[in-house]
Amino acid sequence: MTGVYVHLPFCDRICPYCDFAVVEFKQRRVRRYLAALRAEIDRAEPPASLVGSIFVGGGTPSALAADEVAELLAAIFEKFDIAPGSVECTLEANPSRGDSGRLRAYREAGVNRLSVGVQSFEDAELHRLGRDHDARAAKDYIATARSAGHENLSLDLIAGAPGQSLESFDRSLRAALGCAPDHVSVYGLTIEPGTPYAAWHARDSAAFPDDDAVAELLDRARAVLSQARYRHYEISNFARSGRECVHNLGYWRQGDCIAFGMSAAGYSDGTRYRNHRDFERYCAAIESEVSPRSESERLDRGARIGEAAMLALRTCEGIDDGDFRRRFGIDAAAAFRAARQKFAGTGLLEVDKIGVRLTDRGRLVANTICAEFLTPEMETVSSP
């Protein structure tokens, strides 16, 4: 099925580690942007397959008024002829905006999955991360969301925050479990160039956990969450049975995704595209009735197969040889023979008659391993 992604870039404050396409919340910007979004949605071509998921990300989508979110979702439901509640509809939310009326309005508008950016349950870490909530506010938000009828809640946590220790991270994990979420995402902190954190790291790298320490934190997350019966179904994601994120599974299975908004990236039948990252350029393009896309790339056969392999390796199932034979008409074991041989005997890959997947150790160095699978040996690949 096809996914729909909508980018809402507004934030009450911009976190010092953030490199996403965000702008400071100002109501006049919101009005202009929502008008541009509506126009882009109205002009979109319907997908060939059914829409199976909607993901409203950012930024901080919950910075918008509940009626603005509701109007946006209504436009999407109308455009793609889908009934509210018939597809997974995720909204990213900040715990600092958590009144029950707003949360009920989201649910009534069709949101049936909340992704809550907690990041940590340690107040000192939250302060260093530039967040505008504390641990108590996060817990209260989750409780309020439950009482407002939200039955599918995901929490985000960061591993590698400045000053974070194994002990403090363990406390955050335990606090997260105490909130009984349906899904937990754990992301290793990346120091992005041009951010305030990059400048801080350049001045005092010792303030941040090093790569080995972050790997230890991520391994602790795996151990604690797995013991609590959350399935580690993707490198950064854990879920209770049946609560895996449908939208993100579509990404990892190389499914089509229609993207709306500044910097939003989509994929359609082998073509990858991205909209302008700059707020002014995106809005001006829509207002001038020209395409807001800043780039578009048609992947050749080898690139599609390599990307499919890289994405599959992020999941617990890994590369299923039978699936690749059905999708691409190839012998995956032959196409990726060199990559498989490179890591043979390292304990980073598990190989069997079904296919190949990362081990727990392999997930800690996934980027290095996945890069070796991006270029299949095309001389071994038969025509489709």
pLDDT tens-digit readout, 4-46: 999 999 998 899 999 999 999 999 999 999 999 999 999 998 8
Looking at residue 384, its pLDDT comes to 46
Region for 144 from its dihedrals, namely left if φ exceeds 0, alpha if ψ lies in -120 to 50, beta otherwise: alpha
Query: In the chain, how long is the greatest CA-to-CA distance?
Result: 60
Looking at residue 162, its pLDDT comes to 96
- Coil, strand or helix: which one is 224? helix
What does the alpha-carbon distance between residue 83 and residue 109 come to, in Å, rounded to a whole number? 11
Looking at residue 382, its pLDDT comes to 55
What does the alpha-carbon distance between residue 59 and residue 161 come to, in Å, rounded to a whole number? 19
pLDDT tens-digit readout, 279-291: 999 999 999 999 9
pLDDT tens-digit readout, 145-173: 999 999 999 999 999 999 999 999 999 99
Instruction: Give yes or no for residue 112 having a pLDDT over 80.
Output: yes
Instruction: Give yes or no for residue 244 having a pLDDT over 60.
Output: yes
- Over residues 64-78, the mean pLDDT reads 95
* Closest residue by Cα to residue 239 from 275, 203, 185, 286: 185
Q: How far is CA 49 from the centre of its chain?
A: 22
Contacts for 197-201: CB closer than 8 Å, 24+ residues apart: 197/16, 197/17, 197/162, 200/16, 200/162
